[in-house]
Structure 1
């Protein structure tokens, strides 16, 4: 498959390059026939809002430090992603025809979807695989139930969104979650050089991302970025299998097959 300069540009920038050729219809339905996306997006939103309020109420530090952590960024993105997903599902009759491109709120939902799912997977693996095993570990979630909600159930609910949705996931959108990670990295750098401390008075947000040790931190960040890209590839793979199963099941071929290589 030969890439044009246009496709390469969309890959590098992460722009939704083919939205003018994209139909709104797959964004408003489930891959499971006539089941409405509201059946899972509303419970996800309720869950996310509940956990967000719960975690803010029992946060171990000052409230203004709550959004120091990527876990809480990820939770906020689940709230945004499910909110826009609900809006898209409810407003399906008013969606613009594909001839004129996807409406802004469908594009916004798609970008949030592309970011939130792999980032949720990353947060779960990063937390249990790195932070919990770190020699300098701190107690990020004193409540064990809340700990599982923030770092385990987050991936489970996003997996439900991924498996039940009908719209495509594209390999060329890998830059979108990486931009999210880059924004968080930039935030952590600015916070460190501004003299920011964590709730325990440490000069870092996460012990494995300590900018007073730049070489070690850059290794962690590089490996994390590669793993996040892998999580995006996994997301695309699951979506491709999902769509293949739906297409095979649907004798009328009303499902949309996931073309991962389309920009």
Structure 2
């Protein structure tokens, strides 16, 4: 078994593990290839996105108006990079100064850090806010597709989280927040450019209506706080996962140092 390299740097009095490419290619519970869950997730995401496009309730060019579809694309990309990374044969790779990881591993890690909390956010936002909105639109005419887009999306990302063998870092919280900020800026530009939703409304989501900026900013602020909370949940789950893994192993392993500092 590949031995984990530990850094001598201090992290509040404890040693920290430097991430290696091998961590991203293995399952936390060992002897299980990540391909066993990443390939099904990738195929699931491709199927759902194809189904969503074919049954979209408006012009196809409006498909990417919605955060749900942005999140689905992130799952496609995250699982695709995860599969490619696992299938790539180990070799002498050109690393850079950031943790010594090759670019495709860092790209996967960023996608991972975004896709999981965003999936959780989409599920809670949809069922907790949109479904209770007085201006509710039928965002998924097919009830099965509705569950796939706004429920199973979180399930598959939870599977990715609990089986992955690499760390989730606390300070990576800015990555999903920057992603959400990009979507928010998109909604602002779309509104002031005169864009409409497929039903002719001057908003994409009724609770994010820039003709009512005060109300919208309250929703946006609460949503950002909840997304940050989702990232904290991801780090906590990863830490619990790694604690369980250590107890199951008879040899030294990795721990999730997500609550430590970051260099």
With the length of structure 1 as denominator, give the TM-score of the two structures. 0.90
Aligned positions of 1:218-229 closer than 5 A: 218-229=217-228
Structure 2 unmatched runs, 5+: 1-10
Aligned positions of 1:155-174 closer than 5 A: 155-174=154-173
What does residue 231 of structure 2 align with?
232
Q: Distance in 2 between matches of 1:22 and 1:233?
A: 20
Q: Distance in 2 between matches of 1:94 and 1:199?
A: 49
Q: Distance in 2 between matches of 1:210 and 1:141?
A: 20
What does residue 103 of structure 1 align with?
102
Asked whether the equivalents of residues 28 and 92 of structure 1 are also in contact (C-alpha less than 8 Å), the reply is no
Deviation at 1:90, TM superposition (A): 0.8
Q: Is 1:77 aligned with 2:44?
A: no
Q: Is 1:128 aligned with 2:149?
A: no
What does residue 145 of structure 2 align with?
146
Aligned positions of 1:47-62 closer than 5 A: 47-62=44-59
Match of 1:257 among 239, 245, 255: 255
Q: Which has the higher helix share?
A: 1
Q: Distance in 2 between matches of 1:80 and 1:237?
A: 24
Q: Which runs of 4+ in 1 moved over 2 A?
A: 94-100
With the length of structure 2 as denominator, give the TM-score of the two structures. 0.90
Q: 1:112 to 1:99 in 2, by over 3 A?
A: closer
Deviation at 1:97, TM superposition (A): 8.1
Aligned positions of 1:189-200 closer than 5 A: 189-200=188-199
Q: Deviations over 1:178-233 (max 9, x none)?
A: 00000000000000000000000000000000000000000000000000000000
What does residue 137 of structure 1 align with?
136
Q: Distance in 1 between matches of 2:104 and 2:65?
A: 28
Asked whether the equivalents of residues 93 and 102 of structure 2 are also in contact (C-alpha less than 8 Å), the reply is yes
Match of 1:31 among 28, 53, 60: 28
Q: Distance in 1 between matches of 2:47 and 2:219?
A: 32
Q: Distance in 2 between matches of 1:35 and 1:84?
A: 18
Structure 1 unmatched runs, 5+: 1-6, 8-17
Asked whether the equivalents of residues 24 and 95 of structure 1 are also in contact (C-alpha less than 8 Å), the reply is no
Deviation at 1:33, TM superposition (A): 1.1
Q: Distance in 2 between matches of 1:145 and 1:129?
A: 18
Give the number of equivalent residue pairs: 245
Deviation at 1:85, TM superposition (A): 0.3
Q: CA RMSD in A?
A: 1.7
Q: Deviations over 1:16-69 (max 9, x none)?
A: xx99x4211110000111110000000000000000000000000000000000
